[in-house]
Amino acid sequence: MKTIVCYGDSNTHGTVPITNLGDRHRYAHDQRWPGVLDRRLAPHWRVIEAGLPGRTTVHDDPIEGPQRNGKTGLPVSLESHRDVDLLIIMLGTNDLKPRFGVSAYEIAASAGKLAMIAQASQCGPDGGAPKILLVAPPPVRETGVLAEMFAGAEEKSVRFGELYGQAARANRCLYLDAGDIIESSATDGVHFEPDMHARLGNAIADLIERDIGLDI
């Protein structure tokens, strides 16, 4: 059985769109996109969820803490679950928060840096590198209770598809633009509704079956 690690933020964790700050609701396993992926690829693949709400690509969060830094957390996840055949990275949404002051280009480049770390990790089969699928998060909407937290994010995030594609090509990763498939919830502008999780999980499963196969 092959192993997939889904490394991401609250949308990999399965956070339900929030209506009040402080909400901590999570979809059931079979509703979350990694769960959909797991069901589609079983019994050939084992899908491991490594989603942390608030996780950034490479930044310590001055409010939510240094544990949100995806760069420092990635080696831990890879070494914990080795041998990793495929690493799926979907991060960057939290980097859009004004507190980080980074451009869309810098966010995509930071996602590319995570791919570089994974490629040098020796956590893939036989001490090699895992295959990597870089997923561009869908654009954010500035609406609901998270609008102020993500002020200015909508304009930046509409460039994710283009810029993450460049980062994926530069680092020889598989690539998927989630913005071509799903959209963020109208409730809070950041998280996904259940039907979007289903679409994303199925789209990733289709890509794996087409571009990797079930028996790599």
Strand order in the sheet with 174-177: 45-51, 2-8, 86-90, 131-136, 174-177
Across 38-44, average pLDDT = 96
CATH topology of domain 2-211: Rossmann fold (3.40.50)
Q: What integer pLDDT is reported at residue 216 of this predicted model? A: 47
Across 98-124, average pLDDT = 98
Question: Quick one: pLDDT band at residue 213, thresholds 50, 70, 90?
Answer: confident
pLDDT higher than 90, residue 160: yes
Question: Regarding predicted confidence, which is higher, 70 or 214?
Answer: 70
Could you tell me the pTM of the whole model?
A: 0.97
